[in-house]
Structure 1
Amino acid sequence: MAQLNPDEINVILATDCGSTTTKAILIQKVDGVYRQTHRGEAPTTVEEPVADVTVGVMNAATEVGELAGRRLVDDDGNIIRPATENEGCDIYISTSSAGGGLQVLVTGVVREMSAASAERAALGAGAIVLDLIASNDRRRPHEQIQRIRELRPDMVVMAGGTDGGTEKHVVQIAELIAPAKPKPRFGNTYQLPIIFAGNKEAAAKVQETFDESIALSIVDNVRPTLEFENLEPARDEIHDLFLEHVMAHAPGYERLMKLTDAPIMPTPGAVGNILQQIAKAKGINCVGVDIGGATTDVFSVFDGADGKPVFNRTVSANLGMSYSISNVCSETGMENVLRWVGQAMDERELRNRVKNKMIRPTTIPQSAEALEFEQAVAREALRLAYLQHKEFATTLKGIQQQRTVGDTFSQEGGGRSIVNNLKLNLLVASGGVLSHAPQMSQTAQMMIDSFEPEGITELAKDSIFMMPHLGVLASVHPQAAIEVFERDCLIQLGTVIAPKGTGKPGKKCFSYRITGESLNESGEIAVGDYVVFELGLDHTAKVELNPSRGFDLGNGAGKSVEATVRGGTVGLILDGRGRPIWPV
């Protein structure tokens, strides 16, 4: 695309091609500020009988154009550019998770070290990791080969060995993949892409292991030393190969790539991109979650040990609200689900309700009792997904420890999680059960109960799941993406104040003094209390907080905190239930 002056971009069309629905939004410059003005959607058409993703894209673009009174698609099925007074757009961009998204097989030598770094690179690029094959994953070679044959990945990401380190084990992994001859998911006639991001000394031997059925790309090592992780080259190559190989062979994507003015991004990668942009622009730590029917994605940006932001993403493949709801109940136990329910419920009837949800995934609760139970399950799905995320988002394992050679392969203990709720500034929610809760207060309550934010944390939800569109927009026009994110994407729910620590119910947890234009309050919060003050959108207040001994609001146990907090549709929440809220 020819480089456009950002000042000349006034009308932006963006689409997100989901597995079932293609969503289009129109962004326009209004009074000098970018705003999301209209939205349309249409069924995704990547499957038979249409088998052409651009048909769904044009249908969604046509709908948003009709709503806006602006003709966006011409008679030949092309996006009209550039924009005039009443037709066309200046740029068209898109993301996609149609056809199941980007599916990757990851391999490495030590599961907790090089393989974990390769997994972080793949997840950060927006991939679904089908499996992780490592020298120490306890499967025998023939079992690993059989597993590789069973999978139909879009590509393979290989890691292993620090630069100048082991070559033998790296080559052994390649010798598992070569005879297994994994078949790509789309198209059987093209070479399967394999990215080698391991010990550069072993690259030549790895290349010799594969035949012409493999398209091998060699990039910088994701773990050049034990103390350093270098994910960007692998992430960039995954993205490039996603466009070059995977998208080019998916039905209709070759034409879609010619229509867009920027490279198509995998939907989860775009969500991660906008969160990183916001964290960088505001200098904050943030967590985002997207809970779906089958999976729950958690994204985080936290300051690392060197002060630089570290991005992590996890996909909890068995934690969702329809296809995976039975797994949530099984993994956490029905007693943990029922602790969030305020009325007596028959456990046998609930188990039948869970099974019905699995076979009829599109149904929605029809009674207050059914809604309360579904939101209770959501709390546990989110809680478990966040625990998995914390375990994955760690400091590098294998460094600064006294270890024997045997310990190197076992890696017990490992790194510490960089996810610190006391340092969390913003928590963003999306996904049906959160976004479509009948009351905003229910969304806020689910977020607080499952993520257990500590200190002072702002809560928000994605209004219409716009983050993917803004993530790809951020790659070409960061200013427009941030302006729309703040004004139209997020619905500010408010701020929660919650000390870290536990105490006896009824005892003093913290005292507070709140002063603002619309709110002036003071008093004490006892252990177990949960109080909400009305503090509207665009309103702020100053708070002076004095936690009791053993409770920490961010400055240390028992130390006072002063801050300015923002309101929202729910308001200012003072949560004295302690952390953890309940032992599990």
Structure 2
Amino acid sequence: MTSLVDAESVLAIDIGSLNTRALLFDVVDGQYHFISSATGPTTAGAPYRDVSEGVNIALTRLQEITGRTLVNNDALLILPTQADGSGIDRLALTSSAGADLNILIMGLLSDVSLQSAQRLSGTTYGRVIETIGLNDRRRPDEQVDAILQAQPDIVLIAGGTEKGATRSVNKLVDLVRMACKDLPKESRPKVLYCGNSAIAKRVKEGLERETVIVVAPNIRPSIDQEDLAPAGLLLAKVSAKLRTLQLGGLEGLAKLSSAPFLPSAYALGRMMRFSSGLSDLSKTTLGLDLGASATTLALASSETVHLNVFRSLGMGGSLLSALQQIRLDDIARWVPFDISEADIRDYLYQKSLFPAMIPMTPETLAIEQAMARQILRFATQRMLERWPETELSFERIFISGATLTQAPTAAQSLMLMLDGLQPVGVNVVMLDPYGL
């Protein structure tokens, strides 16, 4: 039988910082249908330090729900589907687990290549820990010391429009090469070069003897043109590769995946672009994910994706860093009870220590929802600073994240989004309680 799809069943696994989700899809009448999902704890940290344990818990629960055998007696995934109906045909894998990736960005002008590199770094689960540009007044040896002290996981090198500056970009490359020579091989950062393509070959030849270097098309081909998409995909792949080295059990799962293993945020951006392509309207589609360790806003049209990952804004372990950026009185204004700012702070500190803790009283629920509102407001403001031309009017808004989608009522979920995002016009809102 001829089919538009090349697999009957697909298992999607998303390893979050707090929970691991397994979702099963199967083909009915030539189209994929969502069958069921199950959740288990993410076991990237102590005592397991192996994400496969959390995956096995989620798969065991999925088997109990569906009555379908997915793993064998050795707890190994059955690939492909067997004659008795057990197993699955394809596996897709995404993850947002793990500590922040340390990113060092290098470029020329602060309002051109460095600005684009900042936007590019904001598409993955990392933080910029050092910036070196043309106007950096430090001596070359001080800049090399800064690279060594920063201990970056990834170095982004931008600068030079097409057929533009080469000498200044080569100086940046020389700094990275000298720093790599002073580091042991296992500690050397991965390098993503996304500058003037005229010297890309020379840059690759100069750095590949010292570390892993990936060359992407120029993210700033001209002063008034920016193209982050090709470099964004390569950055996602580099980030995913680093995660397989950092998280136990992830490399084995990635080898089983039928598609390249990618960060969850990048996958969300792809989904939003696909959804936007289904409509011929001019308005964009927004994907909003309020997670335990990060908030992701993916703004997409049929041609472009503006992906924004705010790693320090989340409802779990990153609450502590969020509280360092958000004032307590801004949170308290959303709480409909007479609760002191000290009590609000203490509860949120406790929540940061025990991210899986659920609110047990109307007061603690109100505190969590107030924090969610303010995190969304803060993330939206930062997105508008990054993309000033953005209009908060959307064709569709997809909402995910347990705090938003598992509120006691759908009305509360809607109000959380409206208060935090504050969109304008008529918007279609879709809740995603299963993390699809």
TM-score range, shorter chain: 0.7 to 0.9
- In the alignment, the residues of structure 1 paired with residue 40 and residue 358 of structure 2 have an alpha-carbon distance, to the nearest angstrom, of 21
- In the alignment, the residues of structure 1 paired with residue 209 and residue 180 of structure 2 have an alpha-carbon distance, to the nearest angstrom, of 11
- In the alignment, the residues of structure 2 paired with residue 154 and residue 297 of structure 1 have an alpha-carbon distance, to the nearest angstrom, of 21
1:454 is matched with: 424
Of the candidates 198, 201, 226, which is equivalent to residue 198 of structure 2?
A: 201
Alpha carbons 1:198, 1:220 under 8 Å: kept? yes
State the TM-score, normalizing by the size of structure 2.
Answer: 0.86
CA 1:139–1:293 in structure 2 vs 1: closer, same or farther (change >3 Å)? farther
Alpha carbons 1:329, 1:377 under 8 Å: kept? no
- In the alignment, the residues of structure 2 paired with residue 20 and residue 260 of structure 1 have an alpha-carbon distance, to the nearest angstrom, of 21
2:401 is matched with: 431
- In the alignment, the residues of structure 1 paired with residue 342 and residue 365 of structure 2 have an alpha-carbon distance, to the nearest angstrom, of 17
CA apart distance, 1:280: 1.2
SS at match of 2:98: helix
Alpha carbons 1:287, 1:426 under 8 Å: kept? yes
Q: Structure 2 matches for 1:294-373, cutoff 5 A?
A: 294-302=293-301, 309-325=303-319, 328-329=322-323, 331-373=325-367
CA 1:137–1:340 in structure 2 vs 1: closer, same or farther (change >3 Å)? farther
From the CA coordinates, give the structure whose radius of gyration is larger.
1
CA apart distance, 1:205: 5.6
Of the candidates 13, 36, 39, which is equivalent to residue 15 of structure 1?
A: 13
- In the alignment, the residues of structure 1 paired with residue 99 and residue 344 of structure 2 have an alpha-carbon distance, to the nearest angstrom, of 30
- In the alignment, the residues of structure 2 paired with residue 349 and residue 243 of structure 1 have an alpha-carbon distance, to the nearest angstrom, of 39
Q: Structure 2 matches for 1:57-136, cutoff 5 A?
A: 57-75=55-73, 77-82=76-81, 84=83, 86-100=85-99, 104-124=103-123, 126-131=124-129, 133-135=131-133
Of the candidates 391, 395, 398, which is equivalent to residue 420 of structure 1?
A: 391
SS at match of 1:27: strand
2:255 is matched with: 258
CA apart distance, 1:243: 5.5
Of the candidates 216, 221, 224, which is equivalent to residue 224 of structure 1?
A: 221
SS at match of 1:456: coil
- In the alignment, the residues of structure 2 paired with residue 340 and residue 243 of structure 1 have an alpha-carbon distance, to the nearest angstrom, of 37
CA apart distance, 1:15: 0.9
- In the alignment, the residues of structure 2 paired with residue 15 and residue 25 of structure 1 have an alpha-carbon distance, to the nearest angstrom, of 6
Alpha carbons 1:115, 1:159 under 8 Å: kept? yes
- In the alignment, the residues of structure 2 paired with residue 130 and residue 290 of structure 1 have an alpha-carbon distance, to the nearest angstrom, of 21
Q: Which has the higher strand share?
A: 1
Of the candidates 378, 382, 388, which is equivalent to residue 376 of structure 2?
A: 382
- In the alignment, the residues of structure 2 paired with residue 53 and residue 39 of structure 1 have an alpha-carbon distance, to the nearest angstrom, of 18
Gaps of 5+ in 1: 303-307, 394-416, 467-584
CA apart distance, 1:381: 1.2
CA 1:366–1:144 in structure 2 vs 1: closer, same or farther (change >3 Å)? farther
Q: Structure 2 matches for 1:130-279, cutoff 5 A?
A: 130-131=128-129, 133-135=131-133, 140=138, 144-181=143-180, 189=186, 192-203=189-200, 206-207=203-204, 210=207, 212-242=209-239, 247=244, 250-279=247-276
CA 1:363–1:217 in structure 2 vs 1: closer, same or farther (change >3 Å)? closer
CA apart distance, 1:273: 1.0
Alpha carbons 1:69, 1:86 under 8 Å: kept? no
% identical aligned pairs: 28
- In the alignment, the residues of structure 2 paired with residue 40 and residue 324 of structure 1 have an alpha-carbon distance, to the nearest angstrom, of 24
CA apart distance, 1:271: 1.1
Gaps of 5+ in 2: none
Alpha carbons 1:313, 1:389 under 8 Å: kept? no
CA apart distance, 1:54: 3.8
CA 1:215–1:325 in structure 2 vs 1: closer, same or farther (change >3 Å)? closer
SS at match of 2:343: helix
